[in-house]
């Protein structure tokens, strides 16, 4: 075993032991759990159950403990207490499988960063991955996640039916869960970290048509991803709703065309776009609501049109290259990794300190990137 690895673990063990020792024995005159027990006239075990909200304690004894804590100014070392119990705790992430450079990789990276911080507090983290085009794969990963008995869950709810079934199971087991990227409008989620989806679509429509006369916005091409055949997955539905509402309000005569492409068959993408724009050669407004505007780069780059406006989402490297080259005009983005990072931190605070987030819905900034401001993003 690596000597440095052994040394680090020995230091951590010493740190934990010292923390527990200080809490129990009153090093440096610190008020201890023993002092609280004496003042309240109860056992140390009773004090521990009150402080950590576990086990049965009579209302009279609990009030005595709380009074003694207040009078003595006792501050429990909850981190040391957690480590001392050695109770296994795990935060799980349910996420689509991803390749390097994809949007979901950013979510995974944020989870790993938050996980490294949680590991230092004795909380294990684990990913459960599924095929984002296969609802059966989602159900299998969800079942595996439940079997692992997590203390908290982070998930992106791509499949409505499977996600609903999962969160119902989590609620029945009293397991807190945090949505990232998008959310279901259920009553039980602990927190959400991500864009305000409806508003992001509304903003997209505004930016796409900004300062355009009403008569000039008569057709818009929306390029969409062909997903599962059962149509259970539709993660941009709220974003599209916001977009459509803006267009209806401001350009009521505009026609919105939906073009579906298959990301697993990239050779067909250009042919599909070629056929569509051959029939609609005058369309100057193009948008994609997901992170994969880069899938249509070849077509757009080889068929330049004056006054064309193109908007995509998310700061993937391939998307940023399109922005710099002028193929895309605007990317609406966010720091995607912060979603999952904050989700893990929020669950860790709750697991350790029973601390709930100040806000249930934590909306990320909607950043508007152009070729003039993307370098330092």
Tens of pLDDT, residue by residue over 297-321, are 999 999 999 889 999 999 999 999 9
What pLDDT does 26 receive?
45
The 123-130 sheet, strands edge to edge: 123-130, 89-96, 152-155, 177-180, 191-194, 361-363
What pLDDT does 85 receive?
54
User: Which among 146, 191, 112, 145 has a CA at the least distance from the CA of 355?
Assistant: 191
What pLDDT does 266 receive?
85
Using CA atoms, how far residue 165 sits from 31, 99, 189, 221, in Å, is 47, 27, 13, 35
The whole-angstrom separation of Cα 206 and Cα 368 is 12
What pLDDT does 278 receive?
96
Residue 193 token pair: 């970290």
The whole-angstrom separation of Cα 254 and Cα 101 is 35
- The pLDDT of 349-355, averaged and rounded, is 89
pLDDT band at 161 (very low <50, low <70, confident <90, very high): very high
- The pLDDT of 95-113, averaged and rounded, is 96
The yes-or-no verdict on residue 41 having pLDDT over 60 is: yes
CA 48, distance to chain mean position in Å, is 34
pLDDT band at 78 (very low <50, low <70, confident <90, very high): low
More confident residue, 119 or 218: 218
E strand or H helix at 127: strand 123-130
What pLDDT does 377 receive?
81
Q: Which of 15-24, 178-187, 210-219 has the lowest mean pLDDT?
A: 15-24
HSE (side-chain half, CA atoms, 13 Å) at 311: 24
The yes-or-no verdict on residue 5 having pLDDT over 90 is: no
Total-model pTM: 0.78
* Residue 72 · residue 36 · CB < 8 Å: yes
More confident residue, 101 or 2: 101
**What average pLDDT does the structure give for the chain?**
88
The yes-or-no verdict on residue 206 having pLDDT over 60 is: yes
The whole-angstrom separation of Cα 188 and Cα 239 is 22
The yes-or-no verdict on residue 183 having pLDDT over 80 is: yes
Given CA atoms 213, 214, 220, 222 in this order, what sign does their dihedral have?
positive
What pLDDT does 375 receive?
85
pLDDT band at 77 (very low <50, low <70, confident <90, very high): low
């Amino acid at each position: 075993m690596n000597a440095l690895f052994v040394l680090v673990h020995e230091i951590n063990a010493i740190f934990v032991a010292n923390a527990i020792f200080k809490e129990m024995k009153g090093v440096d005159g610190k008020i201890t759990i023993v002092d609280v027990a004496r003042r309240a006239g109860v056992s140390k075990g009773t004090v521990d159950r009150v402080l950590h909200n576990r086990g049965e304690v009579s209302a009279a004894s609990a009030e005595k403990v709380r009074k003694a804590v207040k009078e003595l100014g006792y501050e429990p070392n909850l981190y040391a207490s957690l480590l001392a119990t050695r109770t296994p705790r795990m935060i799980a992430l349910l996420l689509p499988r991803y390749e390097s450079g994809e949007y979901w990789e950013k979510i995974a990276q944020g989870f790993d960063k938050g996980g490294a911080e949680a590991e230092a507090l004795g909380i294990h983290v684990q990913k459960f991955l599924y095929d984002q085009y296969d609802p059966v794969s989602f159900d299998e990963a969800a079942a595996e996640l439940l079997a692992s008995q997590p203390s908290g869950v982070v998930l992106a709810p791509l499949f409505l039916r499977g996600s609903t079934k999962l969160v119902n199971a989590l609620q029945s087991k009293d397991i807190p869960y945090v949505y990232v990227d998008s959310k279901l409008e259920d009553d039980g989620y602990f927190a959400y970290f991500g864009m305000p989806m409806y508003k992001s679509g509304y903003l997209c429509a505004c930016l796409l048509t900004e300062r355009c006369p009403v008569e000039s916005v008569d057709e818009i091409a929306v390029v969409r991803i062909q997903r599962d055949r059962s149509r259970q997955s539709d993660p941009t539905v709220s974003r599209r709703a916001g977009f459509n509402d803006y267009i209806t309000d401001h350009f009521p005569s505009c026609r919105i065309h939906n073009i579906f492409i298959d990301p697993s068959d990239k050779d067909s993408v250009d042919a599909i776009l070629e056929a569509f724009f051959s029939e609609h050669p005058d369309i100057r407004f193009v948008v994609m609501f997901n992170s994969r505007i880069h899938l249509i780069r070849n077509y757009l780059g080889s068929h330049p049109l004056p006054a064309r406006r193109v908007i995509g989402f998310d700061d993937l490297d391939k998307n940023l290259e399109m922005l710099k080259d002028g193929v895309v005009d605007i990317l609406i983005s966010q720091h995607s990794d912060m979603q999952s990072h904050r989700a893990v931190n929020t669950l860790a605070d709750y697991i350790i300190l029973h601390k709930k987030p100040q806000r249930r819905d934590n909306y990320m900034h909607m950043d508007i990137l152009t070729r003039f401001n993307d370098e330092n993003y």
